[in-house]
Chain A
Amino acid sequence: MEALSLPAALALVAGGGAGLSPERRAALGASLPLLQRDYRFERVWFWGCIQGLRGAYYIAEGLGPNRAAPRSRLYSLNCLDWSLLTPATKEMLALAEQLKGRFQGDPSFEYNVAEINAEAAARLTEGGKEPVIKEEARLIATIEQIDRAVGIVPRGAFVKTPIGSVHENRHFEGLSLVEAKKLSSYFHFTEPVNLKNKTLLEKANLDPSTDFLDSLEHDIPRGSWSIQLEKGGTVVVLRSLLWLGLTFYHVPMTRQFGYVYFGTGEKNLDLPFML
């Protein structure tokens, strides 16, 4: 969610019971603008909080002029001192997917890779490194996975210019109440995967400036999103069932929207059994 609209946004996602304490909110209000100044971000998003066993990680994302470019991610243990995270590599993602269990809350905690994947451990030892993976790497990989899988925006909120860069649509006035209830009005805010597979007939109806992302309709498994209209339709809240804790809110007919993650950072692999 936008750092500037943090207080109002937190009130809107509080339906799930998770939020921030006044101390953390105040700290964020002070440190996020400083982040923007120091790293020269154009926008700063408060991504959310991953609960570990002994502490929590607070994550912020910074965006540059092209909103679709890879985002810089920072984490903090107390919402005041932020550390930049390196971008995720494919190996990190592959290894982290096999790690199970809660986050410890200590970024230097080391997971033993040999228990999980003997090949990777062997590769690491050959390369001269120890067969361990740090929790920081797991954090990076998890944030990347969550953003890719369930980071969503409403349709029309972003436009793609002919050059290829993506901006906020200054003409976006919000989804109507009818549109807000449909899954097809929300897009994954990452590289589109399914767009090429659409039939020519469907592609003809798309508007290349706004429909350049995958919509939520074809997410597997079906029903992995819960759409609720809270307060009788003043807010529409989408909760992901695949990554429990990700909440997206949008106030129809206004420009307010955003998503935040408050959870343990574990994928819900039991989803097919639970639906």
Chain B
Amino acid sequence: HGPYQPHEPGYGLDQPGYSPYEDQIPDPQARMLAIKNAKAYLLTTSTRSGLNLYDHFANILTKILDEQPTNTVDIIEDISKDVKWAQFRKKMDTLRDEHLILPTFEAAEKCKALFVKEAGEEEHEELDEEMGQPSLPNVMEAAFYFEQAGIGLSKDESYYILLSLKNLINVQPIQTCRFWGKILGLEMNYIIAEVQLREGEGGEEEETGEEEEETVGEKEMGEAEEEGEEKKKEAEPPKSTYKPPPEIPKEENGTGTNKYIYFVCNEPGKPWVKLPPVTPAQIVCARKIKKFFTGRLDAPIVSFPPFPGNEANYLRAQIARISAATHVSPTGFYQFANEDEEEEEGDMYEEIPEFEPPPVAEMVESLTMWAHHVKGILKQGRCVWINPQKSEENEEEEDEEEEDKEEEGEEQEEERGLPLLTLISEDEGMKNIPAWTAQASTNLIPQYSVAILQSNRWPGAYAFASGRKFENVYFGWGHKYSPESHTPALPPPAQAEYPSGPGITETVDPTVEEEIAFKVAQEEALAGEEEEGEEEEAEDD
């Protein structure tokens, strides 16, 4: 307990009259001893952490003198904590480093693999020249135009997507390919490519979960039938007379909602997965539910009404709806291939080479300058209406357009959608919200501005037009906008049991008085008739 320095507690106590140890004489020997004692105290190891104050202060001061931060006194506590924390870090350093390496660098590896040109590519190129080159979409050009409106992914990501589309083209027999857009999900996102395969390819359908279940179900039915035949001798419970409504057949690959085939991947660099074709039942159900995508294609969709399929089917259904509602092009860019078929089977359209693009100001001002080039989906879930009754009978005939309706059982009204190249000014808005918002990308430089369309019915759907170039894209969560909140469908009413009739209606048993009265009335009736008395005797209680 020698002389204290100004920063130590107890300073000033060694003045005569203040120190508690006044009887001690401060001489040099005692001072050295006091210093040694103080140092020994500082070197005592903490029982909890194994550190000691002396080393800790030394480390702090070293760090401060090395780094020389400003206003050190304000952050001294943080520095102290950091030094303590650093103690532990050193011991577990090697372990932690190994963990950190894996995810980041794996992804970087995959991205790097995109840049590698395969050796077999030159052969591919020769083949392609013979068969007609599949066109790699110019993703970067479209990204540039969309960027003028502030829409789109970062340039790096767009370039990765371009490279992975190139890989897709090399792997699959593709005729035309387009970057459709990106749908966000909870755990992972989807990057979607819209593709038309070369003729003759893509006839095989991949079995979805639903189809597999059907085949399994059929096998089960077959087994049950065998068992049923064995047990036919025993009384069987009454079979239900319920007939499910006839299933509406899906549209053929290459027409209507299945005109294009879609490939998805979670991130550029990951393998592309083909989405199964969409069925009308899936579209009808997708209209009633609103669910986030998780990012895993095999995730189940738990909803009411129960969605017939898993997330891959739901994704495909939403893609079909978005394409049908929001894919537009400047009016006059496309025309019908056959003039006669404008109304009904107008699925084929072709570009007009003499198309003169209107100026951007006009494209922005009036919505009549844009037209849909994808057929809208009817309530039935298809683009081309089909009478399900008739298709049940004639399964071998192709789907025909109905002019005569056959009345069998329930009559379903024929649905007619809008013809193919409808102007988007005909799109209905919701309440006071128009269906589309048109803007020019910039007001300051009109000669280079681009006309941008944003859909209000499907937030996230955009289209741009600049001269002869135009493109549609989707960036969003994949849901339709509705001004009212989403109300889930109510469960159907409880199934009616047997229709009431006199045969099964319970009636009150007649009382004794009623029975006697009835008997008296009968006897009178009999007395009135000329009948034998045997029946009277037979009518005893």
Contact = CB atoms under 8 A, between A and B. Distances in A.
Contacts of B107: 231-234
B345 to A, nearest CB: 35
Contact of B441 (A21, A101, A228): A21
Interface stretch (B20-28, B200-208, B310-318, B430-438): B430-438
B151 A232 contact: no
Interface stretch (A9-17, A119-127, A130-138): A9-17
Contacts of A17: 151-153, 181-182, 184, 460, 475-476
A100 B290 CA distance: 19
Given A17-B182, A17-B475, A177-B100, A53 B456 contact: yes
Given A18-B150, A100-B483, A232-B103, A270 B108 contact: no
A194 interface: no
Nearest to A51: B454
A171 B78 contact: yes
Given A101-B431, A232-B106, A18 B459 contact: no
Contacts of B291: 273-275
Nearest to B153: A14
A275 B299 CA distance: 13
Interface string A106-118: 0000000000000
Interface in A87-103: 100-102
A137 B59 CA distance: 55
B80 to A, nearest CB: 11
A16 B475 contact: yes
Interface in A1-50: 11-12, 14-24
Interface string B419-446: 0000000000001111001000110100
Nearest to B476: A17
B513 interface: no
A270 B290 contact: yes
A75 B459 CA distance: 23
A214 B432 CA distance: 39
A171 B488 CA distance: 50
Given A53-B437, A232-B107, A14 B292 contact: no
Contacts of B156: 11
A196 interface: no
A54 B108 CA distance: 41
A229 interface: yes
Interface in A190-230: 223, 226, 228-229
A170 B69 CA distance: 10
B154 A14 contact: yes
Given A14-B157, A171-B75, A273-B488, A234 B433 contact: no
A22 B100 CA distance: 36
B441 A239 contact: no
Interface string B267-307: 00000000000000000000001111000000000000000
Interface string B14-53: 0000000000000000000000000000000000000000
Interface in B127-180: 147-157
Nearest to B110: A232
Interface in A212-260: 223, 226, 228-229, 231-234, 239, 241, 244
A229 B184 CA distance: 13
A215 B254 CA distance: 51
A229 B266 CA distance: 12
A139 B270 CA distance: 41
A19 B152 contact: yes
A104 to B, nearest CB: 9
Interface in A140-171: 159, 169-171
Contacts of B82: 171
Contacts of A274: 290-292, 479, 486
Nearest to B144: A22
A171 B187 CA distance: 31
Contact of B151 (A19, A54, A273): A19
Given A228-B189, A232-B104, A21 B147 contact: yes
B105 interface: yes
Residue of B79, B105, B485 with highest tally of chain A CB at under 10 A: B485
A41 B189 CA distance: 38
A226 B186 contact: yes
B184 A233 contact: no
B117 interface: no
B297 to A, nearest CB: 17
A273 B486 contact: yes
A233 B104 contact: yes
B103 A233 contact: yes
Contacts of A231: 104, 107-108, 111
A275 B105 CA distance: 32
Contacts of A232: 103-108, 110
B477 interface: yes
B483 to A, nearest CB: 5
A156 B292 CA distance: 31
B148 A22 contact: yes
A160 B168 CA distance: 53
B517 interface: no
Contact of A228 (B188, B476, B484): B188
A234 B483 contact: no
Nearest to B482: A270
B99 interface: yes
Contacts of A177: 99-100, 103-104
Given A228-B187, A274-B291, A244 B477 contact: yes
A233 B104 CA distance: 5
Contacts of A178: 99
Contacts of A270: 290, 485-486
Contacts of B150: 18-21, 24
A11 B148 contact: no
A5 to B, nearest CB: 15
B472 to A, nearest CB: 13
A82 B376 CA distance: 43
Nearest to A223: B186
Contacts of B484: 100
A53 B100 contact: no
Interface string B442-474: 101000000000101001100000000000000
B475 A11 contact: no
A72 interface: no
Contacts of A16: 184, 475
Given A18-B475, A100-B484, A273-B486, 15 more contacts: A14-B152, A15-B184, A17-B182, A17-B184, A18-B151, A21-B149, A21-B441, A21-B442, A23-B444, A53-B434, A170-B69, A231-B104, A232-B104, A239-B184, A274-B486
5 nearest A-B residue pairs (beta carbon):
A232-B107, A17-B475, A14-B154, A21-B150, A270-B486
Interface of A: 11-12, 14-24, 51, 53-54, 100-102, 159, 169-171, 177-178, 223, 226, 228-229, 231-234, 239, 241, 244, 264, 269-270, 273-275
30 contacts: A11-B155, A14-B152, A14-B153, A14-B154, A15-B153, A17-B153, A21-B442, A22-B147, A24-B150, A100-B483, A101-B483, A102-B456, A170-B69, A170-B75, A177-B100, A177-B104, A228-B187, A228-B188, A228-B189, A231-B107, A231-B111, A232-B103, A232-B105, A232-B106, A232-B108, A233-B104, A241-B186, A273-B290, A273-B488, A275-B292
